[in-house]
Each structure stands twice: as C-alpha cells, then as structure tokens.
Structure 1
Amino acid sequence: MPAGRILGAEWVKSSGSMGAGNCVELAKLPNGGVAVRNSRHPEGPALVYTREEVVAFLDGAKAGEFDHLTA
C-alpha cells in the first residue's frame, strides 16, 4: 500500500535514530494494525501488519531472537 494513502497516519521512529534519513517509521492504524515505511521514501510503499504480528515480532526482538542480524 502506498504510504501516502494512509490518511491521518502519525508516523513515529525510534529516538535511537541518528537523523541520517535511514529510519524505519511506524504508524498505528485505526483497525489496530501497524504500518511500516522507510523514512527516505515517505510516499513509497508501506507494509501493513496486524497487531498480533507486531506483538510477536516485538516479543522476539526483546528475547534476542534477531540479535544475530546485527552481529
């Protein structure tokens, strides 16, 4: 879905982003889902996930399941 078509979305990014323009931004959707976009392309595509998918991902990240990706 084009990110620009998600009307009223309030995009946020991590405070850990260094402002270099290469950030992942997220927006909560009215249906409880979450949209994800690349800050370098704010009008580009957005991936949309259900609340349950986001919870599962965050739980895995907190448990260290993806640490090998940044090692």
Structure 2
Amino acid sequence: MIEEVHLLGVYMPAALLWAVLAAVLVYLLRVPIQRLPVYRLLWHPSLLELALFVLLWWGLSVFADLFLHG
C-alpha cells in the first residue's frame, strides 16, 4: 500500500517527505564530511554526496516503515 502524509491539508507521498529529510541531512553533513582528510582523495565528491543521499533516503524509509507504520 502506498503511504501518504497529510500536511497542511495536502496529501503527499511519504517517500517525498523522506527524500526531503534526507536532502536536508546531506546538506547538514556536507561541511563535516568535507573537513575529513580522505575527502580530498575522492575522484568525484558529488558521487559521495549522492550515495549518502540514497542511503539516508533508504534508511529513513525503512525506519518509518518499521516504527511509524500504523
């Protein structure tokens, strides 16, 4: 079943909410990650941020499915 979130009178897919939250987390984690010495050795740092976004989005979705369902 597709989950929906009711926010200010608008129904939106829950995946959109988790994607926005994951994007905010990646934005907040960007500066601490850039300060790591290994960050300079990366070929494409943007790919690291994209992978982090995908993993956070997946993790938030799994967390919500397990603990916020119902």
Normalising by structure 1, what TM-score? 0.26
Higher relative contact order (CA 8 A, sep 6+): 2
Normalising by structure 2, what TM-score? 0.26
Highest CA radius of gyration, 1 or 2?
Answer: 2
Bigger share in strand: 1
